[in-house]
Structure 1
């Protein structure tokens, strides 16, 4: 296939249908994130490793809520030229910062939850609040180190035209760093996807082994929750990364593509990116099912009668909480002190 001049190929048209979904994602995600922020702010127990990872996930989600209105404006074609440049340099990077922070922290959350069930009486380093804060800071520095150069590397002047995309503003150095960034991020995705899937598989296996227990009803509920979390992770992030590599190669002109193929790759990338950003809607549900303290606060806030049955033992000091699990109450009830006979 011969390489088509980018000035003769408009792959950025017909973006308006995507914006309707972005409106919905922004509205649901913004309300959910605000409620989650309010709930965590009024929760006394912020010292458990699970809550630390979830709070970092919530912070990443707010970066995405800042970026979405700008992306909607650009996709509608009503943004000024300077606003489009700003989006390409800054807010578009927020989208990818959120995506990979979400993937990483979901990996830590899945591992933490798995360790809670497999070794209830043993605390691993990753479950210690101090270590959780340290590793979270390292993750933020690492992701920003990868992404910020995409914002900081100078861009080239280019004449305004509807066929111009974000990649066209980049100099050769910018394009090379963009390609490098995408391959590094793909490696992050593969490693932490393995962490998520293996941790959830071990958790599901452990729950399934208790199907003959008297309290299997609780295990079944927890099993469904974990399957839903795993399915949402796969739906949100796997399709995008299948498309991302060939799309990046076509952007960098490492492979020759004609106009129709470039249009198909771009539409596929935007469609799968939409799935990736939908994690903004799912995360508040994740907080509810994975954080016992968050769930208790929500129940109390909504005035449910369940909060009357919450024992005062649920609130303890941070030092003691570091030795406790923070997984769903239903799940923990599956594993009593006297382990049930598998027969």
Structure 2
């Protein structure tokens, strides 16, 4: 009886997967919605949206009602952020509005838990913009646009600041901005009740290893540790975290010994149970590095597994921790892996063809 009830409860909720892509043409599909089979990990298409150019990164509002995308463009000031309403009952995704990104090449979005704020990072010239969000999901023009300038030691890649992600602290009181160009993780206090939420903190940044190129950033579920993947250094830096301050405690390679240079490390996520960290490597590797997380927050290498595609730019883990889903823009494939909760290892269960697919989000409704 228990098994039957558990199965019915599992199937009562639907899990949807949202993919964005480099479509390079508003006439072709840019955002796709699929349903994920909670038992087998198979994907079935629900709907898609045209009329949006290069929606390369997506994020969901905390209630799941709205999907936000940033539309990359290498034309100066041509980037934008857009809002869509998702209705799980109608299985529909409807465009609401868009606003200028305040800079070139927006690459990352973060939504505040109160539903009233959206933050984006503009990569090319290195800035971040903050937008008020209305109750109907409408994005208002940005109220802050903070520009950074200084670069770092690599003249080819770090001639100036390059903000690559915008990540809220677990309590949403701080915002962290990994800056690939400056080798810094920038920190701001976030006052959600203020007209201009971002204010400088006493410690305005954490210095990363010179030439490492901080890219994406995540917190441990217990809120005590933070992890930054470094695109150019091919490593994950581990930090102890408290009240907006990061204290470095470890730096560990995301690559095996056979790869010595030209790293293209990309994305980083932790399993919901807090036991394993996953880091994706593009370029010559096209794999995911798997680490077990120790009690003190440090990482221990478990191994490396192929992502079964080319250029694993972004991946995500569903809320149950059962599945890990990878987006490969170069091979144009999305791959679903079944995750072993005990060993942390991955087993491919599904692959779908999606031209230019670059990002993925998943949510249970």
User: Shorter-chain-normalised TM-score: which range?
Assistant: under 0.3
Structure showing greater radius of gyration is: 1
Which structure has greater helix proportion? 1
Which structure has greater strand proportion? 2
Q: TM-score scaled to structure 2, two decimals?
A: 0.23
Q: TM-score scaled to structure 1, two decimals?
A: 0.24
